[in-house]
Amino acid sequence: MKKFILAALSACLAFAPMHLQEKNGAAEELVSGKAAYLCDFESGACAYAEHETERLPIASMCKIMTLLLCFEAADDGNLSYDEQISVSDSAAGMGGSQVFLGSGLSYRAEELIKTIAVCSANDSCVAMAERIAGSESLFVEKMNARAKELGAENTLFSNCTGLPKEPQYSCAKDVALMLRTLLSHEKYFEFSKVWLEDFSHPDGRTTTITNTNKLIRFYDGCDGGKTGFTGQAGFCLAATAKRGDTRLVSVVIGSESSDKRFQSVKNLFNYAFAAFESRKIVEAGKPLETKLNVRGGKQKQISVCAERDLTVFCKRGEEVNATTEFSLLEGLKAPLAAGADVGEAILYRDGVEVSRCRLLAAEPAEKLSYGDAFKSIAENW
């Protein structure tokens, strides 16, 4: 859902920079890079920030937006995952990370999207861009428009791959925002968790694709993210990890080596999982005390529930002032199926909105028949 982006908190929960951490009595670098940002996935609440709004090249992390537009095109009905996409000479001729698509050959959209998520395939990026917008340049316009819509104020794209091309930049905070939006698409996780897989071409060739995000395999809870590297950008990584009810998003830009970017993100995750928690205020699927009035139904009221958990990201043991508001649609008539959209649940912390989600009918509302109405009148005569 796009609405939860509007609920992001503006202030960090960490009050002091922690560029160094103690380990075995010695100071150890927490983050190696030009910029970093760590936040809660659900609310966007910040747990660590360093030069988070500085405009920097982000290399292939710009494919987070490329992937987001692919999933949104499918959600809007403008793209089918099963459709065959013909690869142009331009797409097939892309350099850098690629899956070696054959010019003139056709591939399933879902397979192309997978190669972008797993192995950062530039050729697949251009093929998808041309399919969705007609050309890469028109697709880039969509990328910039979507970034503006999200509130990514320090982001400008010049291509859909992240290959060097001026002017093009983003910042750690904006990358986290874009990744949070991408993570709201559950299908993304079907691809992001792939470690090693063979990609079959229509002409009989096979290309082995390997996930560029090593944390998928080597960090407990990590199930998504995007790497990036160019000589100008340095080594970059945006990743997500979940333990229990807490999902985090961490971004590091401009590390000196691949190992340092992975270690930096691991350090940030370790710090946040130890110091913070996502405290569940509203549980998904659990009927609320609030009831929905239904006209013309066998029951005058039915139970409602939240579509997903609503949580508050806070320091462990911290007292939290959290309140909820349930906004129900009016004038709904039976019949109404279980799972129907009936309103919104809004979560506030200290009076500031931090998250929202849809409210669903927790049970069906059957229509009142003439026989039911006559029986009711007779019983109450």
- CB-CB contact of 19 with 264 (8 Å): no
Task: Return the number of other C-beta atoms located less than 10 Å from residue 27's C-beta.
Answer: 10
**Residue boundaries of the structural domains of the chain:** 3-277, 283-371
pLDDT tens per residue, range 171-219? 999 999 999 999 999 999 999 999 999 999 999 999 999 999 999 999 9
Catalytic-residue membership of 278: no
Q: Which residue is catalytic, options 32, 34, 43, 60?
A: 60
Distances (CA, A) of 34 to 24, 59, 157, 210, 318: 26, 14, 20, 27, 31
Would the pLDDT of 251 be above 80?
A: yes
pLDDT tens per residue, range 257-273? 999 999 999 999 999 99
Q: Which residue is catalytic, options 32, 120, 170, 192?
A: 120
**E strand intervals along 75-162:** 84-86, 106-108
Task: Quote the CA–CA distance of 149 and 55 in Å, as a whole number.
Answer: 18
pLDDT value, residue 153: 96
What CATH class has 3-277? alpha beta
Q: Which residue is catalytic, options 34, 63, 214, 226?
A: 63
The answer to whether domain 283-371 has CATH 1.10.3210.10 is no
- CB-CB contact of 107 with 217 (8 Å): no
pLDDT tens per residue, range 52-106? 999 999 999 999 999 999 999 999 999 999 999 999 999 999 989 999 999 999 9
- CB-CB contact of 240 with 182 (8 Å): no
Catalytic-residue membership of 60: yes
- Sheet holding 301-306: strands in order across? 291-293, 301-306, 352-361, 341-349, 322-328
Catalytic-residue membership of 327: no
DSSP track, 251-268 = EEEEESSHHHHHHHHHHH
